[in-house]
């Protein structure tokens, strides 16, 4: 694959994050004419738009061209063949949460195609896939960046990598890694005032778009567990999967198997007393309860669940749906390096992806 004067871009996923990324790419192309960034392929799970001769797709009409296309997406091997058939270097931007796309990363990287993505499943799935991804990258020289897989656009992964790569010793990582859980507990158990009923706060969070269509997909803790798996691996722990350590689910056992998210919300008020008890226990100690993840590197312990914090603690004092991640290291001593801000949302997630794209472009020049 040839010179970096033109770099071909293939986008997989044109939903919320994908559209925000397209908009940011359009601005980037205007600001940085060199190298020429050429969108040559865009797809969803059902459709694709591209030409056999790598004609550059006009960015502001990419989504409409995709919508009217009759082409189906190329299988991973065919997409790799397509992208390596050009003399230009290629970058895949995977804006999906697809395990199938994630499983193809080693193939793409082995063919010299770089990847930028917010897809958590690639880096929190089996430990074998993790090793295969970075082994393929090391052997081919193609780059893979996934800043937005943890904390959206917040510089969480790049900070941790810098700490590790410069020889600092990371001892503990702790924080609120879910915008949904942050919003819920900041409303349910605020540092001042009484807060609302748990079921009412979950319903409100869904109405405001903070939860998945079925809130159980947030309340089971798996999203946070995936993020913890990624950070633990970057800190040097060989964590097998997000289900290989303790993860506390906030779904009442009786509601785990109800048919729909709506039925879940309908029946959740019956279990408000359980969460009220948790809140009251914390208040009796002068504390508030929060849903956090923590990694103790020394003891190799990773856990996700409810913890009590003093009202003055940075984790307790979060506002809205902000994330906060604290890195405790040998260099930083007892005062952790803290990263805080919006950890969800299309624009900030796409910002992390765009930032990773710039890192790949720097490595190609």
Binding-site residue set for NADP(+)? 13-18
Rg over alpha carbons for the chain, rounded to the nearest Å, is 22
Can you tell me the distance from the alpha carbon of 301 to that of 335, in angstroms, rounded to the nearest whole number? 21
- Per the annotation, the verdict on 253 as an active-site residue is no
At 208 the three-state DSSP class reads coil
How many beta carbons lie within 10 A of that of residue 318, not counting itself? 20
Pick the closest to residue 264 from 305, 185, 320, 211 (CA basis): 211
Binding-site members are 13-18, 96, 120, 212
Strands of the sheet containing 144-145, edge to edge, are: 48-50, 36-43, 6-12, 89-94, 114-116, 144-145
* HSE (side-chain half, CA atoms, 13 Å) at 294: 16
Pick the closest to residue 220 from 209, 229, 211, 230 (CA basis): 211
Q: Rounded to the nearest 5°, which phi and psi values hold at 4?
A: -95, 15
Binding-site members for L-homoserine are 212
Pick the closest to residue 324 from 146, 149, 227, 179 (CA basis): 179
Q: Rounded to the nearest 5°, which phi and psi values hold at 350?
A: -65, -30
* Choice among 206, 227, 279, 287 that is catalytic: 227
Beta strands in the chain (DSSP E): 6-12, 36-43, 48-50, 89-94, 114-116, 144-145, 170-176, 246-247, 287-296, 301-310, 322-329, 337-342
Q: In residues, how long is the chain?
A: 365
Binding-site members for NADPH are 96, 120
- By annotation, the residues acting in catalysis are 227
């Amino acid at each position: 694959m040839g010179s970096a004067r033109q770099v071909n871009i293939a986008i997989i996923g044109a939903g919320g994050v994908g559209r925000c990324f397209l908009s940011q790419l359009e601005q980037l192309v205007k600001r940085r004419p060199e190298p020429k960034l050429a969108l040559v392929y865009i797809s969803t799970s059902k459709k694709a738009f591209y030409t056999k001769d790598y004609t550059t797709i006009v960015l502001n009409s990419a989504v409409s061209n995709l919508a009217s296309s009759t082409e189906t997406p190329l299988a991973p091997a065919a997409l790799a063949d397509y992208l390596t058939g050009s003399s230009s270097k290629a970058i895949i931007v995977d804006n999906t949460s697809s395990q199938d796309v994630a499983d193809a990363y080693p193939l793409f990287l082995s063919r010299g195609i770089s990847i930028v993505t917010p897809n958590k499943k690639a880096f929190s799935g089996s430990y074998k896939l993790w090793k295969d991804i970075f082994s393929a990258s090391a052997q081919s020289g193609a780059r893979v960046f996934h800043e937005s897989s943890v904390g959206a656009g917040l510089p969480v992964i790049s900070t941790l990598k810098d700490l590790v790569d410069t020889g600092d010793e990371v001892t503990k990582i702790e924080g609120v890694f879910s915008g949904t859980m942050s919003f819920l507990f900041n409303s349910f158990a605020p540092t001042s005032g009484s807060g609302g009923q748990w079921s009412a706060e979950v319903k409100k969070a869904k109405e405001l778009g903070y939860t998945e269509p079925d809130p159980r997909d947030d309340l089971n803790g798996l999203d946070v567990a995936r993020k913890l798996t990624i950070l633990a691996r970057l800190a040097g722990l060989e964590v097998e999967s997000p289900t290989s350590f303790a993860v506390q689910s906030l779904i009442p056992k009786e509601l785990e198997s109800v048919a729909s998210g709506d039925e879940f919300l309908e029946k959740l008020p019956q279990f408000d007393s359980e969460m009220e008890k948790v809140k009251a226990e914390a208040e009796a100690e002068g504390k508030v309860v929060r849903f956090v993840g923590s990694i103790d590197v020394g003891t190799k312990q990773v856990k996700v669940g409810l913890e009590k914090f003093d009202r003055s603690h940075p984790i307790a004092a979060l506002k809205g749906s902000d994330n906060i991640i604290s890195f405790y290291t040998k260099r930083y001593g007892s005062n952790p390096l803290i990263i805080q801000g919006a950890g969800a949302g299309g624009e900030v997630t796409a910002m992390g992806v765009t930032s990773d794209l710039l890192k790949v472009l720097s490595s190609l020049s």
